[in-house]
Amino acid sequence: MAKSKSAADEEAGAIDLTPMLDVVFIMLIFFIVTASFIKEPGIEVDRPDATTVADVKTPILIAISSEDKIWVNKTEVDSRQLKLQIEALLAETPKGKVVIQADKEASIKLMTEVAQAAREAGVAEITVAANAK
């Protein structure tokens, strides 16, 4: 009889880890879902500084490297194919906005050509990314 009483006392003092495991799994699912929506242009760009900076959430990111190479969705794109690439992305998100992430050393002419290609593809709003001063 003494054994059964001490076993009941041990069971009463034990910590139930089931709720903690539920919370851990919910957090894991949250991080997996949110991580899949982060988009990157494919290269690291050193953006210029600006006095006014707007935070835009957008599905279409276009990066221009210091070597004047254009990147869309982690793939390098020829400037002649850029309009077709933007049109394909607009088919997925019809009200999509374009953010151009140009390096400080990138050509202004190429940035203008990218903006013009986006306008020709039917993009209503084009933004140039910059760092806040």
38: amino acid identity, one letter: I
Q: What is the CATH number of the domain that holds 54?
A: 3.30.420.270
pLDDT-derived band at 2 (thresholds 50, 70, 90) equals low
Same domain (yes/no): 75, 110:
yes
Domain count, the chain: 2
Share of the chain above pLDDT 70, in %: 72
Q: Strands of 46-129 (E only): list them.
A: 49-50, 60-64, 70-72, 75-77, 98-102, 126-128
Same structural domain, 63 and 121: yes
Q: What is the pLDDT of residue 27?
A: 92
**Cβ(70)–Cβ(62) under 8 Å?**
yes
Scan for tokens 């835009």, then name that residue: 56
pLDDT band at 25 (very low <50, low <70, confident <90, very high): very high
45, 114 in Cβ contact below 8 A? no
Taking the C-alpha atoms of residue 122 and residue 104, their distance in angstroms, rounded to an integer, is 27
Q: pLDDT band for 73, please (50, 70, 90 cuts).
A: confident
pLDDT of residue 26: 92
Separation of alpha carbons 43 and 49, rounded Å: 18
pTM score > 0.85 for this model? Answer: no
